[in-house]
Structure 1
Amino acid sequence: MIVATKAIVFSAIKYSEADLIVSCYTEVAGIKSYLLRGVLKSKKGKLKVSYFQPLTQLELIAEHKNKGTLEYIKEAKVFEPYKTLHTTILKSGLVMFLSEMLKNCIREEEPNKALYIFLENSFNWLDQNEEVANFHIFFLLQLSMYLGFYPDAANIEEKYFNVMEGSFQATNTNDYCLEGAQIESFKLFFNINPETLSSIKLSKTERQNVLELVLSYYSFHVQGYQKPKSLAVLNQLFS
């Protein structure tokens, strides 16, 4: 079946001498993996390697056989050209980290229009704004809403956060209840929007502690979760 769809690149891995295997989140079919034959050596083909950098937004004409095998891209063009996302060191580190997290967490081969729009808008905002030190934490917290495990903030004024249950509570009921400065910093990311992210003032250590909490939360709620390899690079960039 030939489909036309928007897509966001999650990863591109070299396969053999000249091929790429590209993982994309498509608007019409969720996650799809494509085999791009000869793209690393071809200079005249319709597909260019530069199109498949992480988080690039594309328009695709693709062949989907929907048999659980690699699909094929017939045509591709950049839908939303980025100005800064792949050219500034800090944002490149964020792109590496977020694309790895997305590939880790999103595996469904089915459309989710709301999630696609969220991703599209988030990366456009990241590209267009300069104060992005808190963006990855805010993004992951918002992403959990679309993945079905956004924390219950009804009792956010309470001192404990139960990482396993995803809720704030007044008492310590198990080994997964955390309290202290890390939790108070985490609370700052609720009930805000991207435009007010810069109002959250955290030190390097405080930001890393909140991110560790969010990743721990993901580890409880994402089946087969793997700690991102790019985390060390991200922490260095924000040091």
Structure 2
Amino acid sequence: MRTYKARGIVLHTLRYGDSSMIAYLFTDVGGRTHYMVQGVHGRRGNKAALFQPMFAVEIEGVEQPRARMHRIREARSLVPLASLPFDVRKSTISLFMAEVLYKLVREEEANEPLFDFILEAVLHLDRMQEGIANFHLWFLVRLSAFLGFYPGNEYTDNDWFDIRDGIFVPSMPTHRICMNPSCSRLLGRLMECEADELPALRLARTQRGEFMEAMLAYFGYHFDSIHSVQSVSILREVF
């Protein structure tokens, strides 16, 4: 058995027996990896508190050649989160982020740029005081780059975004699989916007909802599994 150290972001957990769980993490050294975590509910404390959606952990893992999953020998918080676990808006967004990543990211190999992006996104969301309601929209736009279908050109005035071809075009494409000019303009803004500029992006609830539907259609063109993301309904209620 080989032991190793890794940083991980919690994507999903399943209870296993009375005191164990299976935890799906996205790690810096092995991509998406699932682990057996034993003694989660024990006399030494509740380890389950470490494995909430999008929590960052530092682990000592054990690779078990004959088993389908690795085992976590030790785990501790990588970066304590000050507000995300306690702010219903942030925890709702983190739940959505974790479910999207769990559904869409399947690679079981190191992808340090993607790991760094996810970790920094979590830390930025935790620090945010304004612009929180737009964060999940920005996250989806930026995530598309790591999944291989970031828009292929820049937005210009009155463009439509062609979902099928992944580019901005000057008029509605004949196949009509596209974003309308309003959503296309917002997509262009979010492509240029850094996370710390989100407070300046003033959007009505209807605008966020319309753009969210457009982004789900864009993601759905590439990944059918986006349509089974259950936390979308919670997002609609909160934002």
- Alignment of 1:49 with 2:48, yes or no, is yes
State the alpha-carbon separation in 2 of the partners of residues 93 and 157 from structure 1: 33
- The answer as to whether partners of 1:97 and 1:230 remain within 8 angstroms in 2 is yes
Structure 1: gaps (5+ residues)? none
SS in structure 2 at match of 1:201: coil
Aligned to 2:149: 149
Aligned-residue RMSD, C-alpha:
1.8
- Alignment of 1:185 with 2:186, yes or no, is yes
Aligned runs of 1:14-29 on 2, under 5 Å?
14-29=15-30
- Alignment of 1:5 with 2:6, yes or no, is yes
Cα shift at 1:165: 1.4
State the alpha-carbon separation in 2 of the partners of residues 227 and 181 from structure 1: 26
Cα shift at 1:170: 1.8
Q: Percent identity?
A: 28
**C-alpha deviations, 1:14-39, integer Å up to 9, x for none?**
12332211100011000111112332
State the alpha-carbon separation in 2 of the partners of residues 133 and 216 from structure 1: 20
TM-score, normalisation: structure 2: 0.92
Aligned residue pairs, count: 236
Write the letter of the residue equivalent to 1:134. N
Write the letter of the residue equivalent to 1:102. L
Write the letter of the residue equivalent to 1:173. T
Structure 2: gaps (5+ residues)? none
**C-alpha deviations, 1:111-150, integer Å up to 9, x for none?**
0111111111111111011121111111111111112111
SS in structure 2 at match of 1:188: helix
- The answer as to whether partners of 1:158 and 1:168 remain within 8 angstroms in 2 is no
Aligned to 1:114: 113
* Greater share of helix: 2
TM-score, normalisation: structure 1: 0.92
| Structure 1 ranges of 4+ moved more than 4 A | none
State the alpha-carbon separation in 2 of the partners of residues 109 and 156 from structure 1: 38
State the alpha-carbon separation in 2 of the partners of residues 152 and 66 from structure 1: 41
State the alpha-carbon separation in 2 of the partners of residues 19 and 229 from structure 1: 25
State the alpha-carbon separation in 2 of the partners of residues 66 and 143 from structure 1: 32
- The answer as to whether partners of 2:158 and 2:185 remain within 8 angstroms in 1 is no
SS in structure 2 at match of 1:133: helix
Q: 1:13 to 1:151 in 2, by over 3 A?
A: same
